[in-house]
Amino acid sequence: MDLHAVTAALVDDLSGLRFGLPVSHVYNPLLYAAEPWRLYLERYGLAPRDVILLGMNPGPWGLSNSNEQAPRPDYQWRAA
């Protein structure tokens, strides 16, 4: 598995996403952190792997680092 190709495919697939109100800002770490990600892959992602674990860590105190409120999940399920 070529993680550079997987990343490029994700960037391409996600680039078409558009959000309406109330969303006013969206950040895409695949774009703004492309260079650190490339360096990470060069260092740790080239050897054969069965699994690679990825995630976003907002810090040791969760979203409080950015003074943002954590979103509340919407559990209003609708019948299909």
Q: What is the 3-state secondary structure (H, E, C) of the chain?
A: CCHHHHHHHHHHHHCCCCCCCCCCCCCCHHHHCHHHHHHHHHHHCCCCCCCCCCCCCCCCCHHHHHCCCCCCCCCCCCCC
pLDDT surpassing 70 at residue 74: no
Q: Which residue has the tokens 């598995």?
A: 1
Segment 11-60, tens digit of pLDDT:
899 888 888 998 888 888 888 888 988 898 888 887 787 777 666 665 56
The model's pTM is: 0.55
